[in-house]
Structure 1
Amino acid sequence: MATQTYERSDSLVSSLYDRLQSIVCAFVLLLCGAIGFAGTLGAAHILTPLAASTITYEIIEPQTPAYSAVAMGESAALTPLSSVFTPQVQYWAPLINAWAIAFQMDPNLIATVIQIESCGDPSVGSSAGAQGLFQVMPFHFAPGEDMLDVQTNAARGLNYLAGGLAKANGHVGLALAGYNGGHGVIDRGWATWPAETQRYYYWGSRIYSEATSGTGSSPTLQEWLTAGGGSLCTRAQATEDQLTQQQAGY
């Protein structure tokens, strides 16, 4: 009889333990489910407004390249003209400084263009049809304009150069490439440029950089003279001698 009572007690305890274990497991599962649901609901509450709304960004201070103000503006226009340019270009120094003020442009950039294009010869023309001190193509002139008139030639050439500077965001090398090869090259890669434009970029950007460095010399300009620029300057000197004689009344 005692043995039978013990067996019933053991069976009852085991049954209660199994039930308790089942209840605990169920409670844990319910708790995990509740936590998971709450987390999902919270995430949905946080993310839904972001997905549904449009995020607006405000530019407080636009970033412009450091070089953008080097060759343009009032300060650039007042930059002293470097002594590195050849005497044939220095001949035009008073006008170069006046054009710098008028076009709000570094006079050294203007002198760089004159140096490479004509070396100061206002009467020179190219086989492609470019004319005068700035070697401006005929289609830049208005009908009836004298393409060799120094002031007219400068106005047309510098207007085009200023447009290139604006398109290139002040990048002198790209503006010079655009002056030679057309503004379309500014947005294209170096490899797509004609060989002449690549050389122009090389000569122009380096001469300008050396002219504005304050060193008082331009190895690149000397290289340009040796590469063929010297003959252009010889012709320019002859033209300027004639102009000097005419002004003196000879």
Structure 2
Amino acid sequence: MWTLEAQRWVTRGLPLGIAMLAVLLLTPLAGLVAMALNPEEAIHLSPFPAPHRGGEEGRGLAPLFTPEVQRWSAQILAWAQAYQLDPNLIATVMQIESCGDPLARSSRGAIGLFQVMPFHFGAREDPWDPETNARAGLSYLAEAWRKAGGDVAGALAGYNGGHTVIGRPERWGEETRRYVYWGVGIYEDARRGATQSPRLQEWLEAGGRHLCEQAARRIIR
């Protein structure tokens, strides 16, 4: 059967056989040109996978996190879906904040798994409840991620130092700089699916191991 394109070539004086050969050769080339000129419309032709989006179904947790954090893997994957965040980012924040200890409390009064300040909770909310704590902490993290435009360092800085420091590294205090250093290194290793993280080991040696030992004693097995 003649295609419309072949018919047009024939009307221009080309023999049918040459016209059909021209259509066969030029059609794939036209598709490539269309992709180059308008990649969004031609994305279905691309052989490359779409970039990862937070909470992508089927994306698992990297094995490098400590057992105290791995214990929360099912909840982390569910939270990743709910808040549209990479589960490895959630696990990284939990690792640094509490090492999976739901009863963790900082010297500044931050509470629970994600070390959320009490003023983020309603009067009738239980900040020690893991789901309630995650809702407050991960809502804040998701907003930091959005404000940072998907920049990991910016999102982590915003979680630790407040959203006003996002995009303004000159305003990061020493604590926030350390937080970003630990967090970015651990997260990048986790995102690659590494089984071990040199940055996580640094964090453990710098004091994180005590936090994890405390978590191991408190977590109900």
Specify the alignment match of 2:82 in structure 1. 102
Specify the alignment match of 2:15 in structure 1. none
2:175 counterpart (183, 188, 196): 196
For structure 1, list consecutive stretches of 5 or more residues without a partner in the other structure: 1-59, 63-68, 245-250
Once residues 218 and 55 of structure 2 are traced to their aligned partners in structure 1, the CA distance between those partners, rounded to angstroms, is 33
Partner amino acid, structure 2, of 1:130: A
Show the 5 A alignment for 1:26-175: 70=52, 72-75=53-56, 78-175=58-155
Specify the alignment match of 1:210 in structure 2. 189
Asked if the contact 1:123/1:132 (under 8 Å) is kept, the reply is: yes
- Which is richer in helix? 1
Aligned residues: 174
2:209 counterpart (230, 233, 240): 230
Between the two proteins, what is the percent identity of the paired residues?
55
In the TM superposition, residue 61 of structure 1 has moved relative to its aligned partner by 8.9
Once residues 193 and 61 of structure 2 are traced to their aligned partners in structure 1, the CA distance between those partners, rounded to angstroms, is 10
Secondary structure of residue in 2 paired with 1:187: coil
Asked if the contact 1:78/1:100 (under 8 Å) is kept, the reply is: no
Asked if the contact 1:138/1:147 (under 8 Å) is kept, the reply is: yes
Once residues 86 and 105 of structure 1 are traced to their aligned partners in structure 2, the CA distance between those partners, rounded to angstroms, is 20
Question: What RMSD in Å do the two structures reach over aligned CA positions?
Answer: 1.7
TM-score, normalisation: structure 1:
0.66
For structure 2, list consecutive stretches of 5 or more residues without a partner in the other structure: 1-37, 41-50
Asked if the contact 2:76/2:90 (under 8 Å) is kept, the reply is: yes
Once residues 168 and 121 of structure 1 are traced to their aligned partners in structure 2, the CA distance between those partners, rounded to angstroms, is 28
Deviating 4+ runs (over 2 angstroms): 72-75
In the TM superposition, residue 139 of structure 1 has moved relative to its aligned partner by 1.3
In the TM superposition, residue 74 of structure 1 has moved relative to its aligned partner by 4.8
Q: In 2 relative to 1, CA 61–174 (structure 1 residues): closer, same or farther, beyond 3 Å?
A: farther
In the TM superposition, residue 106 of structure 1 has moved relative to its aligned partner by 0.8
In the TM superposition, residue 214 of structure 1 has moved relative to its aligned partner by 2.4
Once residues 232 and 74 of structure 1 are traced to their aligned partners in structure 2, the CA distance between those partners, rounded to angstroms, is 27
In the TM superposition, residue 200 of structure 1 has moved relative to its aligned partner by 0.3
Asked if the contact 1:78/1:106 (under 8 Å) is kept, the reply is: no
Secondary structure of residue in 1 paired with 2:138: helix
In the TM superposition, residue 73 of structure 1 has moved relative to its aligned partner by 3.7
